[in-house]
Amino acid sequence: MNETLTPETPEVLFSAEQIQRRVRQLGAEIGKEYADRQLCVVGLMKNCLVFMADLIRAIPVPLTCYMVRTTQGGKGGSEIVYSAEEPYEGKDILLLDDVLDTGVTLSYLVDHINEHRPKSLKVCALIDRVQDRKVDLQPDWVVFSLREPLDRFLVGYGLDYAELYRGLPYIGVLPRPAPPTEGGRLDISLENEK
């Protein structure tokens, strides 16, 4: 039986105005870094779609855009399941991530792109969850850093929970669902509490 989720309103963590101000600032910084060069922007699907759309409009240099998608492999590693047929060799690459937490997937992508000998490779993350890092990977640019642990879901501005909330203009937080019940099913009800 398919249950329909009734979305609750997330608590605002970063407003639409805060996001847009920071994205414009980063676009200008990145534009200075790549002045007189063409940039190849590669976004991690699908959570960074909104971020990528706003950021590329704020970077004042010629650029191309591509998407890549990964999944967890059978032994806990990552694997690429979708990638535009973009040759990275000799190009200035800006890799976009939505939420940089453990860094495992992003590290895999950085290694994969570096194998193709780009001219340069830099990373920009929408949110850096510094406390969750498991590998030594530091982004070159970050919109927002979260230095304290956050035991809630980040949603909005392209980020989802159960494919909901991507269209919100702000980044909000939702409480995590209750742990699995005795029967092993996870309670993912998102009904408003009134």
Name the residues annotated as catalytic: 101
CA distance 178 to 12: 21
63: β partners: 39
Beta carbons within 8 Å of 59's beta carbon, 6+ residues apart: 27, 30, 31, 34, 39, 41
Q: Where are the alpha helices (DSSP H) in 34-129?
A: 49-58, 104-115
114-140 core/surface letters (b: 16 or more CB in 10 A; e: else): eeeebeebbbbbbbbbeeeeeeebebe
Residue 29 token pair: 């910084």
Element (H, E) at 29: helix 16-33
CA–CA dist 125, 30 (Å, integer): 13
